[in-house]
Amino acid sequence: MNRGVSVAVGLLAGYAADRVLGDPRSFHPVAGFGTAATALEKRTYGADRWSGVLHNAILVGATIVGGSVFRGAVPTAVATWTVLGGTTLARTGSELADRLEADDLEGARALLPSLCGRDPSVLDADGLARAALESIAENTSDATVAPLFWGAVAGVPGLVGYRAVNTLDAMVGYRNERYERFGWASAKVDDVANLAPARIAGVLTVVLAPLVGGSPQAAAEAWERDSGAHPSPNAGVVEATMAGALGVTLGGKTEYPHGIEMRPTLGSGPAPGVADLRRAIALSTAIQTGAAVGSAALAVAVGELVFRRLRRRR
């Protein structure tokens, strides 16, 4: 089995494992990475960008080097299952929707931190639905499309390296007093790593919108019209296309524990409700499956390209 086919088989097997099993229930490697990153931060932290560059380089570099030891379909499958989070994302979103439908606001608020970092205590049912939907849109790319893309390009090192990048951004990539400068490098590296995956997710959202009764044209128009106004070059793409596909409006006043942000309006239509959240989850699942198939094809193409270059050198 050549390199490309081996990686493709591993990506598809790992994606299937995530669909069936969800995240590992104990001894999750990503949690272990987070513990190591917290311990290292005690030594590397400084209120300047260079300290953050060093922190990011050590952790991401060590993860990629460690991942380079593993090759073949089985290690790729295990790594893929470990780094993907799409099934758990969908399950959490569905459970939150269930609680909203049962008028269990406190239960829904308790679940929201598993999806995003907003302050759930200030959100009503509509606010919780919007927050969950925006998180589903963004994390469809971050939790599935992006790791599959980098796995196709670089195998196990790509899978684990991307997850390290994304985890560090979630840990220190904030614009608050402690991390505004220290977390700068982690936030920028994450932006670069997600440039291609977010746009792949955007294209898939446009193409697959009819599966949930949505409009490809509206999704594409929202992408072109609204995405550039978002403070994130990547979240703007996936949230705008999702809003357009569902015919809802996202953005506006957004409350975090560190303060209030006024986000740009994305899409056009009414504010999302629980039914829209369920449609977003269904569309997210379709996008993830499309990304898995596309990444397998990309892995084969990359493997063939590498093989041809090596043959020419001989």
Q: What's this model's pTM, rounded to 2 decimal places?
A: 0.93
Q: CA-to-CA distance for 98 and 112, rounded, in angstroms?
A: 13
Q: Please give the residue that has the higher pLDDT: either 261 or 276.
A: 276
- Mind listing the pLDDT tens digit for each residue in 194-212? 999 999 999 999 999 999 9
Other beta carbons within 10 Å of 72 = 15
**Closest by Cα among 1, 5, 21, 32 to 78:** 21
Q: CA-to-CA distance for 200 and 187, rounded, in angstroms?
A: 20
Q: CA-to-CA distance for 73 and 15, rounded, in angstroms?
A: 13
* Tokens of residue 16, six digits: 């299937």
Q: Which domain holds residue 108?
A: 3-313
Domain count, the chain: 1
Q: CA-to-CA distance for 46 and 184, rounded, in angstroms?
A: 12
Distances (CA, A) of 184 to 85, 179, 188: 25, 7, 6
Q: Provide the b/e sequence for 228-265 (b: ≥16 CB within 10 Å).
A: eebebebbbbbbbbbbbbbbbbbbeebbeeeeeeebbe
Residue 190 has pLDDT above 90, yes or no: yes
Q: What confidence score (pLDDT) does residue 259 get?
A: 61
Q: What confidence score (pLDDT) does residue 309 get?
A: 78
The answer to whether 113 touches 120, Cβ cutoff 8 Å, is: yes
